[in-house]
Amino acid sequence: MKSIIINKYGGPEVLEYSEMPKPVAGPGEVVIKTKFAAVNPADWKVRKGRLKIITGKKFPKILGIEASGIIEEVGEGVTSFMVGQHVYAAKDYTTGTNSEYFKVPENNVLLLPESMPFEDAASIAVTGVAAYQCLLLHGGIEEGMKVLVNGASGGLGIMAVQIAKILGAEVTGVCSSRNIDLVKSLGADRLIDYTEKNLFDEDYQYDIIIDSAGNLNLKNSKKLLTKKGILIKVNISLLTVRDQFISSIFSSKKVKLVLMKVIKEDFQWIRDQIAIGRLKVIVDKIFDLKDCQKAHEYSETLRANGKILLKVS
């Protein structure tokens, strides 16, 4: 099967369009024939070796953490799915979805609603659930809270703005001038154009800050947080780990590093909100699988207006 692999960590040039063995479903697993796979910042961070504490040094590695497709095979003990069903799924960082087929535990898989296209489904398995967990599980969001989404026009940011509004918060979105209308259309109450205004000059405080852009830390965000405010980071770094530790002991203002957990009810909540039209999926660009290098280069500009996808089959 055709796959995007790396045989070493490095820049976009290490991505290879290569042949790999087709996976076989083990007990409790399904094999999915991939239709669309998402390209997330996590993918190029894996490629660069920034997450090697998780991904290790064993190669080749197939990249990708979320995708949609059709069930090709079910393993022993699988009771929730049948061959031929349309589904979407999330994976960990070890063996990915940028491939014609991938296997995954059945608990990581959800059925597509009839009205949901494969493109949209490939966009929500990780970023939608991650945004929801940032706000509810880690942020403890309540109605009336003030939420700042830094990087509001990116894949996770778009979801975070909408989910925060659904949960009753006042939402401020940070983005560039070209994305102001997009973020406004998602329901943001306040908008900050970072090309014209410095966020740190604001005399305004937030109960929850979600930093999907990656440029906030405990030191530069303290004045932006309420007394018990929380800065939620979705990008792994030594600085974030340090900030989380320091704030847990010495500060009422906290930093939390969030990695998505596979919780079936959270997957279902996101799917249901999309199905009833309360949550919109925004797809920016679609590349062919073989053009994954271009997709990574585009993602690394941090200028995507929504999700970046790979068309696989």
- Could you report the per-residue pLDDT of 203-249, keeping only the tens digit for each? 899 999 999 988 999 999 999 999 999 999 988 778 888 888 999 99
Looking at residue 241, its pLDDT comes to 86
Q: State the average pLDDT for the chain.
A: 93
Q: How confident is the model at residue 126 (pLDDT cuts 50, 70, 90)?
A: confident
As a whole number, mean pLDDT of residues 27-52 equals 94
Rounded Cα distance, 56 and 76, in Å: 29
pLDDT band at 201 (very low <50, low <70, confident <90, very high): confident
For residue 94, pLDDT beyond 80: no
The domains found in the chain, sorted by start residue, are 2-125+263-311 (3.90.180.10), 127-257 (3.40.50.720)
Q: Sort residue 130 into left (φ over 0), alpha (ψ -120 to 50) or beta.
A: alpha
CA dist 45 and 300 (Å) reads 9
pLDDT of residue 172: 98
DSSP state of 212: S
- pLDDT > 70 in the chain, percent: 100
pLDDT at 278: 93
Q: Widest CA span of the chain, in angstroms?
A: 58
Lowest mean pLDDT among 167-171, 177-181, 198-202: 198-202
- Of the candidates 115, 125, 9, 121, which has an alpha carbon nearest to the alpha carbon of residue 70? 121
Query: What is the C-alpha to C-alpha distance for residues 210 and 150, in angstroms, rounded to an integer?
Result: 6
- pLDDT, residue 292, reads 97
140: DSSP letter: -
pLDDT of residue 214: 86
Residue 115 pLDDT > 90: no
Q: What is the pLDDT of residue 132?
A: 96
Q: Is the pLDDT of residue 24 over 90?
A: yes
pLDDT, average across residues 33-51: 93
Residue 289: is its pLDDT beyond 80? yes
- At 125, the pLDDT band (50, 70, 90 cuts) reads confident
DSSP 135: I
Q: H or E segment at 254?
A: strand 254-257
Q: How confident is the model at residue 142 (pLDDT cuts 50, 70, 90)?
A: very high
Angle subtended by helix axes 292-300 and 41-48, to nearest 10:
100
Q: What is the pLDDT of residue 38?
A: 96
Q: Is the backbone peptide bond immediately before 60 cis, with ω within 30 degrees of 0? A: yes
- Whether 116 has a pLDDT exceeding 80, the answer reads yes
Residue with the bigger pLDDT between 66 and 125: it is 66
Mean pLDDT of 261-286: 91
Average pLDDT over residues 15-21: 97
Task: Find the mean pLDDT for residues 13-22.
Answer: 97
